[in-house]
Structure 1
């Protein structure tokens, strides 16, 4: 088995800012794809397993997961300055772009070509999300819950959101603590007890 290369660290808060700014400007419709690509494959700030763990935590926190991830990575390396650099990087360019697009949409929003282009981008985003989901399955093989429980939780989440149309927050509130409790008991049962 090949040894993985050591992970890198961000060079400075400005490295965080520009990296997350670049990420935010190309991530239309599904940022997890580009976040995983940048953080794991390009910059190598996190391993795929660490990214999956951090992304799971980022999704349970209030706010957009990618904002939470930028704050987590930034604060881990540069404290408050790093957190602010990552957060500013992820927000600044999209904010400017959204303001410009809102102004343009006020004039061109009824054009059928524009409507068709936006619908086409939705289909592409769905494909990108599916491909990233497939790439992130591999680290689940070593998840403490085991493949079967991970598959049951994943399929339950998909079924509740996509088929039963429950809101994401409701599903996370129900399945998140259940997964945490299962993981806790799995760890507790695997830790050897000291003899009295």
Structure 2
């Protein structure tokens, strides 16, 4: 069925986005595509890509923007509210419960060790993603200067992320602009 003709109720949107929200924390976009395009067939792959493209240029998290767009497409403002609420409902409950558990058990050495292990995994995932992204920059060595400058400013001067971005972004944009002329 063409998604232009399809109607979804706010409760269907809430339930669908609740399942998406339960599929992972901070990285549910692949699950959203799987649910919206492949499983539920609410959108075609082309519609999903076009909608995601719009969501990526709008301020805010892509998945939240996508929930608003999909929800409003099928059920107006009520659908947008239902989709966003569904997306956030379960993760908020889980985080609140984890916070309560932490408050009660954070003094235990086993819990402290568990949290150190979880934080090490998080650092590893971030580092892995950063290294994968850095690999593409080796093709244009001047971009490595921007990376090095960013690391020096962040590590040596201990500046907040906003300041690091404000200081390094003009230089990185200049290098990226030159790179596009080079290609």
Q: Residue 37 of structure 1: CA displacement?
A: 1.2
- State which structure, 1 or 2, has the greater radius of gyration over its C-alpha atoms: 2
Choose which of 65, 71, 75 in structure 2 pairs with 1:74: 71
Residue deviations 1:19-47, cap 9 Å, x none? 00111122223111211111111111122
Compute the TM-score of the two structures, normalised by the length of structure 1: 0.56
Q: Residue 100 of structure 1: CA displacement?
A: 1.3
Q: Is the 8 A contact 1:71 1:87 kept in 2?
A: yes
Choose which of 75, 83, 88 in structure 2 pairs with 1:86: 83
Q: Is the 8 A contact 1:10 1:77 kept in 2?
A: yes
1: CA distance, partners of 2:101 / 2:115? 11
> Which sections of structure 2, spanning at least 5 residues, go unmatched?
130-135, 152-160, 174-183
Q: Residue 68 of structure 1: CA displacement?
A: 1.3
Provide closer, same or farther for how the CA distance between residues 15 and 124 of structure 1 changes in structure 2, counting only shifts above 3 A.
farther
- Secondary structure, counterpart of 2:52 in structure 1: helix
2: CA distance, partners of 1:22 / 1:63? 21
The residue number in structure 2 matching 1:30 is 27
Q: Is the 8 A contact 1:17 1:86 kept in 2?
A: yes
The residue number in structure 2 matching 1:112 is 113
Q: Is the 8 A contact 2:13 2:71 kept in 1?
A: yes
Q: Residue 107 of structure 1: CA displacement?
A: 4.0
Q: How well do the aligned residues superpose, as a CA RMSD in angstroms?
A: 4.2
Stretch of structure 1 that moved more, 52-61 or 118-127: 118-127
